[in-house]
Amino acid sequence: MPETRVIVNLSNRHIHVSKEDLAALFGPGHKLTRTKDLMQPGQYACEEVVTVRGPKGSLDNIRILGPERKETQCEILASDVFKLGVSGCPTRESGQLDGSFPFEIIGPAGTLKKTRGLIIAKRHVHFDPESAQRFGVADKELVSLRVGEERAAVFENVVCRVSESYALECHLDFDEGNAVGIGSGSHGTVIKK
Ligand SMILES: [Zn+2]
């Protein structure tokens, strides 16, 4: 029998920034201040926060997750779409920014108008290759995930992402966690198609 039980951690809205954008927002030579290591190796939460603005409104205190990325991307919750005025903002895997929405970022040292990079995070499970083998899943495979107790539900279209640089962990966002009454550190069951 393949393994099925996976730890589930919830992501809040957050932003990844490029080196150039970090300098534009916080000043030249600014270095990110690590406050908490995340479960994925090398990933961490930072002290730095920015404001993200859309056509209709803005969201304050959007935390930067480090390290810097090649391209800036902001991952919002589906429930943020109305406040920002970005109806139609696509649900995407991290890094897949074709068709993502434009947005503005306001930092203490400057404001940036981005032509793309705003997405709603697509629910996913990170697997190292050995874990993927135990679960019997391949990179990019879509599975379902059962989570919750009293408010349990099955999420469909959960992307499996397999890489040497990952640790076994499922990422849902706050909207999804709230919908099924779970917090970070709970467990889910992977259901293959
Ligand atoms: Zn993730």
For residue 164, report the distance from its CA to the centre of ligand 1, in Å.
14
Cβ atoms of residues 17 and 44 within 8 Å: no
96-105 pLDDT, tens digit each: 999 999 999 9
Structural domains for the chain: 13-121 (no CATH), 123-191 (2.40.40.20)
Could you tell me the two tokens for 117? 């990079």
CA–centroid distance, residue 72 to ligand 1 (Å):
16
- Are 160 and 125 a contacting pair, CB within 8 Å? yes
* Distance from the alpha carbon of residue 184 to the mean position of ligand 1, in angstroms: 13
Q: Kindly report the average pLDDT of the chain as a whole number.
A: 97
pTM for the whole structure: 0.95
* Cβ-based burial of 52 (10 A; exposed 0-12, middle 13-18, buried ≥19): buried
pLDDT in tens, 81-114: 999 999 999 999 999 999 999 999 999 999 999 9
**HSE (CB half, 13 Å, CA atoms) of 53?**
8
18: CA distance to ligand 1 center in Å? Answer: 18
Query: Mind listing the pLDDT tens digit for each residue in 158-187?
Result: 999 999 999 999 999 999 999 999 999 999
Tokens standing for residue 95: 């890094």
pLDDT at 164: 98
How far apart are alpha carbons 39 and 145 in whole angstroms? 19
